[in-house]
Structure 1
Amino acid sequence: MSRAISHIDTFQGLILALQNYWAEQGCVVLQPYDMEM
């Protein structure tokens, strides 16, 4: 993941890097879906 950390400069980039890391570990990160009720 150290390679990905050097390219993180936004919050969205951080989320993407974490998703990629966990995908490499064989995991799935479920993100909440914000919907007006």
Structure 2
Amino acid sequence: MKWSEVLADPTLQDLPYKIELNEWEQIVMTPAS
């Protein structure tokens, strides 16, 4: 998954998590601080 796809995905919006992509282009979510 590319970062532009993450931004465009409506299911990933408004989540209480910090969303990042790792070096293998996998989504990593961590609790927002």
TM-score, normalised relative to structure 1:
0.29
Q: Which has the higher contact order (CA 8 A, sep 6+)?
A: 2
**Structure with greater Cα Rg:** 1
Point out the structure with the larger strand share.
Answer: 2
TM-score, normalised relative to structure 2:
0.30
